[in-house]
Amino acid sequence: MDIRCIDKESAWRIRHEVMWPDRELEYVQLKDDDRGRHYGLFAGERLVSVVSLFMDQDEAQFRKFATLEEEQGKGYGSRLLRYVMEEAQQAGVKRIWCNARWEKTFFYRKFGLLETDRAFVKGGKEYVIMECNMK
């Protein structure tokens, strides 16, 4: 198992397959993808999990976190998220946050993120902003 920076196009492929397979590829592309750091977890040579990190001074948002469906439940996503949170902390980030799908909030709580009172709907899916302060 290996975690490393990847190009945005590799992240798009996994995002599309996992998050929005019924939409066009452009739907998973972010206008600010060029300024983000994209990370991938590889099982052998196969890319199985991706996340993108966007840092702005002492805050960071991770976005488009996705693990291939057949690889979920094996700890890959947890390992990748832990790695990215450590990277953010080492870069001086004090607060990290994400737009979490409501049905995934239990997962993010394991990493110290808590729901805020800010929620929204996008593409028919319900989201809540979750955040935590870094130590």
Q: How confident is the model at residue 80 (pLDDT cuts 50, 70, 90)?
A: very high
Is the pLDDT assigned to residue 107 strictly greater than 80?
Answer: yes
Query: In what helix (H) or strand (E) does residue 11 lie, and over which residues does it extend?
Result: helix 8-19
CB environment 29-48: b (16+ within 10 A), e (fewer): ebeebeebbbbbbeeeeebb
Q: 1 pLDDT band (50/70/90 cuts)?
A: confident
Q: What is the pLDDT of residue 123?
A: 87
Q: Where are the beta strands (DSSP E) in the chain?
A: 2-5, 37-43, 46-56, 59-67, 95-101, 114-122, 125-133
Radius of gyration of the chain (CA): 14
pLDDT range class, residue 102, cuts 50, 70, 90: very high
**Domain boundary assignment for the chain:** 2-133
pLDDT band at residue 81 using 50, 70 and 90 as cut-offs: very high
Q: Which CATH number fits domain 2-133: 3.20.20.450, 1.10.10.10, 3.40.630.30, 3.30.43.10?
A: 3.40.630.30
